[in-house]
């Protein structure tokens, strides 16, 4: 498939599937634990992770598996992997699902938890930082697959979506009870990481 057709299919995916899902995500007030100490009781973080997991599953990508890991006192982690056992290189794509607090000073007609699409721009808390991460990572995978790009065919791919950005817990912990060494985030050693992407820098 030529690049123009790939670009067209990606734009169609954003308009048809991703933006409507982002609008649902914006409506979930899943603030960072720093701003919502009762996040577990409120259940918003799990709603956001479930929304992302279900969307990934609906894409029906062959060989892609998604698992939600949870540990006491920590936000959930969504791990989506497409492993190729014979390949030594790993592409890690990282994102987070928690949001900054609502704040004040929103323009009239706009607000943190109600999505508004205006002049081609989607307004609402979390739509830019960092709710789009899982959608862009998976859509990138689909586009590369259609083009049979070497970064897809010659490397392992792992997508890690945390419920809390990295200014929170100081490190990623291996989920308790995880037996599959190819599914757990702890299996990604520094020597095997080829590339990381993170909108937060």
pLDDT, residue 150, reads: 56
Q: Which residues pair with 31 in a beta bridge?
A: 99
**Tell me, what DSSP letter sits at residue 143?**
H
Percent of the chain with pLDDT over 70: 69
Per-residue pLDDT tens over the stretch 5-34: 778 888 888 899 999 999 999 999 999 999
Per-residue pLDDT tens over the stretch 175-195: 444 444 444 444 444 444 444
pLDDT at 76 over 80: yes
8 A C-beta contact, residue 156 and residue 144: no
pLDDT, residue 83, reads: 59
pLDDT, residue 146, reads: 67
Q: How many other β-carbons are positioned within 10 Å of the β-carbon of residue 84?
A: 15
Q: Which residues pair with 50 in a beta bridge?
A: none
pLDDT, residue 195, reads: 42
Q: How many other β-carbons are positioned within 10 Å of the β-carbon of residue 104?
A: 6
pLDDT, residue 117, reads: 94
pLDDT, residue 113, reads: 96
pLDDT, residue 159, reads: 67
Q: Which residues pair with 116 in a beta bridge?
A: 123
pLDDT, residue 199, reads: 45
8 A C-beta contact, residue 155 and residue 87: yes
Decide if 109 is inside a domain.
no
Which residue shows structure tokens 């586009």? 143
Q: Which residues pair with 66 in a beta bridge?
A: 80
Q: Could you give the CA distance from residue 56 to residue 67 in angstroms, rounded to a whole number?
A: 11
Decide if 111 is inside a domain.
no
CATH number at residue 135: 3.40.630.10
Which residue shows structure tokens 């100490």? 37
Decide if 38 is inside a domain.
yes
Decide if 10 is inside a domain.
yes
pLDDT, residue 180, reads: 44
Domain holding 36, by residue range, is 3-104+116-197
Decide if 110 is inside a domain.
no
pLDDT at 59 over 80: yes
pLDDT, residue 18, reads: 93
Q: Which residues pair with 159 in a beta bridge?
A: 80, 93
Mean of per-residue pLDDT scores for the chain: 77
CA angle 48, 166, 107 (to 5 degrees): 60
Helix (H, G, I), strand (E, B), or coil: what is residue 38?
Answer: coil
What is the pTM assigned to this prediction? Answer: 0.78
Q: Which residues pair with 158 in a beta bridge?
A: 81, 92
Decide if 80 is inside a domain.
yes
Q: Could you give the CA distance from residue 182 to residue 89 in angstroms, rounded to a whole number?
A: 13
Per-residue pLDDT tens over the stretch 105-153: 899 999 999 999 999 899 999 988 778 888 888 887 777 766 665 555 5
Domain tally, the chain: 1
8 A C-beta contact, residue 45 and residue 30: yes
**Average pLDDT of the residues in 88-113:** 86
**Average pLDDT of the residues in 142-169:** 62
End-to-end CA distance of the chain: 32
pLDDT, residue 121, reads: 92
């Amino acid at each position: 498939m030529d690049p123009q057709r790939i670009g067209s299919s990606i734009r169609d995916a954003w308009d048809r599937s991703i933006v409507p899902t982002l609008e649902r995500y914006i409506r979930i007030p899943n603030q960072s634990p720093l701003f919502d100490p009762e996040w577990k009781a409120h259940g918003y973080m799990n709603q956001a992770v479930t929304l992302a997991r279900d969307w990934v599953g609906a894409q029906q990508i062959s060989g892609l598996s998604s698992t939600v890991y949870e540990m006491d006192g920590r936000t959930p982690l969504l791990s989506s992997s497409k492993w190729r056992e014979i390949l030594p290189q790993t592409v890690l794509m990282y994102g987070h699902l928690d949001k900054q607090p609502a704040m004040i000073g929103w323009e009239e007609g706009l607000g943190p938890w109600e999505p508004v699409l205006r002049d081609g721009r989607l307004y609402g808390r979390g739509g830019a930082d960092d709710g789009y991460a899982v959608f862009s990572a998976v859509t990138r995978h689909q586009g590369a697959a259609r083009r049979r790009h070497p970064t897809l065919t010659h490397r392992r791919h792992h997508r890690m979506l945390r419920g809390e950005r990295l200014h929170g817990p100081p490190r990623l912990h291996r989920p308790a009870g995880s037996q599959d060494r190819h599914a757990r985030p702890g299996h990604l050693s520094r020597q095997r990481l080829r590339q990381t992407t993170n909108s937060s820098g």
